[in-house]
Amino acid sequence: MAKISAIVLSPDPQAARAAVDSVGTQEGCELELVVVIPGAAALDADPAFAPEARVVRLPTDSTPAAVRNAGVKVSTAPYFCLVEPRERLVGKDVLARHVAALEADPTAVASYGRTEVDEGPGVVRARPERGRGGWILRRLVQHKALVASAASVVWRRSLLPERPWDESYKTSSGLLLALLVAASKDHPFLFLPDTVARTEKKKDELQVLEEQVKVFVALLYGATKLEERLDARVRFRLARHLVALGKHHYRQGDHARAGRLFGEAVKAVPSYFKGRRYQFMNFLKGVIAG
């Protein structure tokens, strides 16, 4: 029976309970539970954790990447799943199914499935609506919710760096996207066509948008030249994020920065505003009138 490490991140034991409980119900695989809590006190005996859980204590000021990398460092299984705050696994055999798929295809760096995203009172959507395996970089760039949660992915340790998460990213969305992009450049992914995790909808906050722009810029202007279709999709996604950032700064009254961001969007995709000129002008009119 293959072994897998489930790494749960949480700011406190109470917040970890739902995630730990969802891990504890998993069947069909040898499971190692690791709980990483920044600023943790003596928590080993807390009822939120199973007796066999390994609790990792880190300083309160640990970076998000350091927290994640610490969990990977102390885990021992050849596969691992990261469960972030406000996430949990869905179903009792999802980890076993991920592992079985990865055991059957040693070339795959990870296996991912659908996530139930709680978008508000009574509204839950499964993301992605349509997933696929193989070389997913193009779809990952094109579809914002292709991988909608960290908990929906099981990683093969041997095909990742020793410290998988990049210290230059601070948000959970930026960290996940950067790792997905880096891994999907060199290795195929597997897709389980079922719901495997649940999470709350994340807002596109300013820092999240900035880090996603950083990921796309690094991909676009990296050492490896992108093939034409992928290049076009990265540029389009980059332009959308630059416009979103520009709108934010325009609303804050920083028209000069907004103008620079809109200009960079045009440079990335000269035709971006053509099909959206009325929508964009209506936005400007509304801002000016407001």
Tell me how far the alpha carbon of residue 101 is from its chain's centroid. Answer: 21
Residue 45 has a pLDDT of 43
Is the pLDDT reported for residue 279 higher than 80? no
% of the chain at pLDDT higher than 70: 88
Q: Which of 29-43, 136-150, 167-181, 205-219 has the lowest mean pLDDT?
A: 29-43
Q: Residue 285's pLDDT band (boundaries 50, 70, 90)?
A: low
pLDDT at 141: 94
DSSP letter at 134 equals B
* Mean pLDDT, the chain, whole residue set: 88
> Is 15's pLDDT higher than 70?
no
Overall average pLDDT of the 150-155 stretch: 98
- Classify 255 as helix, strand or coil: helix
Decide if 184 contacts 86 (C-beta within 8 A). Answer: no
Tell me what pLDDT residue 12 has: 67
CA atoms of 81 and 19, how far apart (whole Å): 12
86 sits in the region (left: phi over 0; alpha: psi -120 to 50; else beta) called: left
Model pLDDT, residue 46? 54
pLDDT confidence band for 289 (50 / 70 / 90)? low
Q: pLDDT higher for 132 or 48?
A: 132
Give the side-chain half-sphere CA count within 13 A for 278. 1
**14: three-class secondary structure by DSSP:** helix
Least confident of 6-20, 71-85, 158-172, 176-190: 6-20
Q: Using CA atoms, how far apart are residues 239 and 267, in angstroms rounded to an integer?
A: 9
Angstrom CA distances, 13 to 8, 18, 34, 72, 194, stand at: 11, 10, 13, 19, 29
pLDDT of residue 120: 80
81 strand-pairing partners: 6, 154
Check pLDDT > 60 for residue 131: yes
Q: Does 158 score more than 70 pLDDT?
A: yes
Collect all residues with Cβ–Cβ distance below 8 Å to 129 and sequence separation of at least 6. Answer: none
Average pLDDT estimate for 202-223: 90
**Hey, where are the domains in the chain?**
3-200, 206-289
pLDDT of 4 reads 97
pLDDT at position 64 over 70: yes
Structure tokens that stand for 118 in this block: 């709680």
* Percent over 90 (pLDDT), the chain: 61
Selecting from 3.10.450.50, 3.40.50.720, 3.40.50.620, 3.90.550.10, what CATH number does the domain 3-200 have?
Answer: 3.90.550.10
